[in-house]
Chains A and B, each alone.
Chain A
Amino acid sequence: MNTALSWIKAYVPDLSCTDQEYCDAMTLSGTKVEGYVRTDRNLEKIVIGQIEKIAPHPDADKLIVCQVNIGAETIQIVTGAPNVKEGDKVPVVLPGGKVAGGHDGGPMPEDGIPIKAGKLRGVPSNGMMCSIEELGSSRDLYPEAPEYGIYLFPQDARVGADAVEALGLRDTVFEYEITNNRVDCYSILGIAREAAATFQKPFVPPVVTVHANGEDVNDYVSVTVEDTDLCSRYCARVCKNVRIAPSPQWMQRRLAAAGIRPINNLVDITNYVMAEYGQPMHAFNLDTVAGHQIIVRRAKDGDVFQTLDGQLRRLDSEVLMICDADKQIGIAGIMGGENSKITDDVTTVLFEAATFNGPNIRKSAKRIGMRTDASAIFEKGLDPVNAAAAIDRACQLIEELGCGEVVGGMVDVCQPIKPLTRIKFEPERINRFLGTRISTEEMLAIFKRLELSYDSVSNEIEIPSFRQDLQGFADIAEEVARFYGYDRIPTTLPSGEATTGKISFSERLEQKARDIAEYCGFSQAMTFSFESPKVFDKLLLDKDHALRCAVTISNPLGEDYSIMRTIPLNGLLTSLALNYNRRNKDVKLYELCKIYLPVSQSPADLPQERTQFVLGFYGEGNFFTMKGVVEEFLEHVGMRKRPVYDPKAGRPYLHPGRQADLVYDGKPIGYLGELHPKVAAQYDIGARTYVAVLDMPSIVEKATFDRKYEGIAKYPAVNRDISMVVPKSVLAGEIEAVLAQRGGKILERFSLFDLYEGSQIKEGFKSVAYTLTFRAKDKTLEEADVSAAMRKILNGLNQLGIELRQ
């Protein structure tokens, strides 16, 4: 919301401060100033001059030479402006001065345009006459300015006076951020009231008196509110013998500063009152209102209505309409109708100031697709008391501006107005809550400034109707805090029972996952949680795959962001692809992200959110590199049993011969593998890509940070190498399972040292060799101990069709 400081000062006449002081103080008391601009920025040495004489330029047809009286002297100015004549009063920038913009109204230079004395086609020119654009404004805000040429002052302007002042540009426009609880501050009066309280100066609102004629408004119009749930008050007044004309300059200037374009006296008055009181108003041409009857009721589904901007609007049964005896004539709180709008030949006007249901207006505006200045205010929910005040203010202005004749009385259809809120005054509790020692007197003084009255008999604070936001103890405490000053409240740390800082076990595991991934060369990625359902096709999932069942966003930013991921791979693969396409070499990424798995058909049930530890890389390394990272992690989170790798996982997005499900302690905990080349191609990754996924909740179940020291071996180890001829179908994992199972306690470890497939070995077999290390904790092993263990192992291997190599 933008307003000129001069308008605020009209109601806080004693206010005197610099722009910056105003900005800081208002922000600290809760009316946040987003910024401010001086309207006389870059306007220097500009006075009102009168053209005394115009002569043609000797050498240029399009130029004229003017003698301009600027009060103290008369100066010569050459101009090409087409619209000036002798006797005109014009803004003149003197040599050494500045104007804000060019005459074409284009973007204004940061530091303005300096004006110097010079010659035009050989004739000296000592200054410049200005257009409204050069003065940094526009015809939108100064409609009396000519389309091309110099701005002309009215004849009563004083020659030699400050032209900027005369244009009302010696002002500052402040932009405020008003929080949505302070609907009263969407108005000049609201902000002025805050300013008065902030600077501790008297607040002097306008005194409203309407003379009106002796007639009765009820003879002109009747009002019926059918849907009282959506309209708690409807005030109507009538003006007759209306004369449409421009509004006075002072009103135009104030509207202009607020960014509202002046149009004519009638429209300007409704806009002025909306800005001043924060109460939108509407004016109907009463002669077009059938039966001189206003009915407020909901539209019917499918109704079509032409708003005064000429557009056809489709309505539904939740849109509140203003109707006459025959037809709809306005969308309540949003926009009036084409059929009843004010035209230049209007004679009798019906003013409406109403209180509509905020949420309903908000939803209607959204559905119809037109959020107007009026609806933006109505949707916050207005004070019904303000409606009557605003309509009277409008009628007062009608009379003051000589715009028409106000008919006596007001039609007022009003639901019972809520009694004023009363809140118990508890000064000690306020101090205890704020951590302050503010005196009761100081608190009461603050309330007084805010027009909150104190009833010492009941010890209650009575809240005026315009402060709908004040409902309880905490609200009152905030008012005290704001005007005492947040900056004056002390800083302390919470006392009371000590608590222990904690990070959950699962978060500690995630930290370990990050550490290990990074030690292994992976950098952390973050990707969006929602994605396109096309991801399932990209990952080659069957049409009826269970993972296709996803949480779906009903109002996504587009199909590409419409489902919550059920597989964690897409984000990381997309990031790997981005790196690949940017020619980054050997890229390793990991992510700790969630998948969202629906648990039931019931819409009220929340999905299961499972954190996944996802790793992916292309470039140097292979399947076993990834396997190494996974095992490194498992070891560091205390999962020291042998994981089982099941190669028959059959995950469609992975290479059919290079993938494994990871089973730990009999439970699947994740998978890893090489990306299926078809999938890699879908993502435009032209290199072998490896991924691993660990399901963190499963890890949480099995992991531990407990460790026990097992001692360091004291007795010597005995090594045995076995070299085997193994059927190709037998996996190393199966051999190792035999070794682990049959080697007994004394088998300390084993390691593969040779693997060979080729011509030396018979068809269908491969050569595999392991070193086995035996050691006992309590003695030096004897040959017989080792031989016994070896025999058991060899028996077991025989059962797999394995022979010792000769």
Chain B
Amino acid sequence: MAMKERLAKIREEVLEQIKTSESLERLNEVRIGALGKKGALTEILKGMKDVAAEDRPKVGQMVNEVRTELERALETEKEKLEDLARDAKLKSEVIDVTLPAVKNQVGHRHPNTIVQEEVERIFVGMGYEVVEGPEVEKDYYNFEALNTPKGHPARDEQDTFYINEDVVLRTQTSPVQVRTMEKGKLPIRMIAPGRVYRADEVDATHSPVFHQIEGLVIDKNITFADLKGTLAEFARELFGEETKVKFRPHHFPFTEPSAEVDVSCFKCGGKGCRFCKGSGWIEILGCGMVHPKVLTMSGIDPEEYSGFAFGVGLERITLLKYEIDDMRLLYENDVRFLKQF
């Protein structure tokens, strides 16, 4: 049957053309040549009117079969060619991934702030509120109310900047203790970070402006053991789980008993190294039970309430933690320094 042969021929020719078409454009031409409005297969359908009526379904089926086959072949070839084209494109787009990065130049936090935020995080987690107090402070809050009356030798140890007889630049963050207690809201769990001032000339280990972080807890039944436990927890959080803590008796006018706290050297783990001057310990803070006189002056009954307080030198921790050997770097703000944090 002529129709059948013609179909077979078209089929064969088109399949051959598909196989040999080397581009998507050529493949499209083949598709149009076969299946387009004027394509070979379409032509055959147009010739259906010449086919005997009883044969038409059979011929129609045959045409459709060929059409389906060709479409499938076209599709397969198209995918193949597309893959090839994509591969070629990808190949041409190879970059040198070791070329320099394009960075959004993000700035750096000051190392003091990093440590301060870390300390705040630890204590906020333990239920402490972060509070602030003035830097230009009344003598009363900085000394008197902290059991350091005029003429007390401790005043000499902290070379104080005076504005006038009654106003000083605070030498410690401890006045915030008094201001907090005076508000009369109990219990208290607070820390107060901030700037303090002492008349020390600038050198590698001294700065007339530096920072402390004060801590204060007042409640019923607060014990010295609680102070030890709290600061041990703090030290482990800040310096690592293995950190050991040593409490040595000391004296501060506004706490009794008082202690200085050493942590096991985080460089050598306590074996003794150059960093801890061979002792295995590094002094990090002073603390104690709030002196009954201080409680009384702030309107809290020491028979009913007790509490503890501590003061951490922020720069001291910063210098230790980052092994910075000169305090002046902290206030010079050379970006080559700041970028290291």
Which A residues are closer than 8 A to B by beta carbons? 27-30, 32, 179-182, 358-359, 362-363, 379-380, 432-436, 469, 472-475, 477-478, 481-482, 486-487, 489-504, 507, 511, 514, 517-530, 551-557, 561, 564, 575, 578-579, 582, 584, 586-590, 594, 596, 603-604, 606-607, 609
Contact = CB atoms under 8 A, between A and B. Distances in A.
A523 B106 CA distance: 8
B136 A609 contact: yes
B222 interface: yes
Contact of B334 (A362, A526, A556, A582): A582
Contact of B250 (A32, A586, A604): A32
Contact of B199 (A380, A487, A557): A557
Interface residues of B, number: 89
A523 to B, nearest CB: 4
Given A504-B132, A525-B110, A575-B333, A486 B225 contact: no
A492 B132 contact: no
Contacts of B129: 499-503
B282 to A, nearest CB: 14
B107 A520 contact: yes
B205 interface: no
B22 interface: no
A496 B127 CA distance: 12
A487 B107 contact: no
Contacts of A435: 223-226
Say what secondary structure dominates the interface of chain B. mixed
B221 A496 contact: yes
Interface in B230-271: 230, 232-233, 246-251, 253, 256-260
B333 A525 contact: yes
A32 B223 contact: no
B136 A607 contact: yes
A53 B262 CA distance: 60
Given A491-B228, A501-B125, A579 B151 contact: no
Contacts of A519: 104, 106-107
Given A486-B247, A528-B209, A587 B335 contact: yes
B248 A28 contact: yes
B225 A489 contact: yes
Nearest to A604: B166
Nearest to B137: A606
Q: Give the top 5 A-B pairs by smallest Cβ distance, nearest first.
A: A435-B225, A359-B151, A435-B223, A30-B249, A501-B124
Contact of A490 (B107, B134, B228, B260): B228
30 contacts: A179-B251, A359-B152, A435-B226, A472-B292, A475-B256, A478-B249, A481-B224, A486-B249, A491-B228, A494-B219, A495-B221, A495-B226, A499-B129, A503-B129, A504-B130, A517-B107, A520-B107, A523-B335, A524-B108, A526-B331, A528-B331, A530-B209, A551-B163, A564-B169, A582-B336, A584-B335, A584-B336, A590-B107, A604-B166, A606-B137
Interface centre among B129, B135, B335, B339 (most CB of A within 10 A): B335
B204 interface: no
Given A432-B221, A503-B124, A578 B109 contact: no
A607 to B, nearest CB: 5
Contacts of B166: 603-604
B201 interface: yes
Interface stretch (B3-11, B53-61, B80-88, B154-162): B154-162
B332 interface: yes
A492 B219 CA distance: 15
Contact of A478 (B107, B199, B258): B258
Contact of B136 (A495, A521, A606): A606
A578 B332 contact: yes
A492 B229 contact: yes
Given A490-B229, A603-B165, 18 more contacts: A28-B248, A32-B248, A179-B250, A180-B251, A379-B153, A477-B256, A482-B257, A492-B225, A492-B226, A494-B219, A501-B126, A518-B106, A521-B104, A526-B333, A527-B333, A555-B199, A579-B335, A603-B164
Nearest to A579: B335
Contacts of A553: 161-163, 169
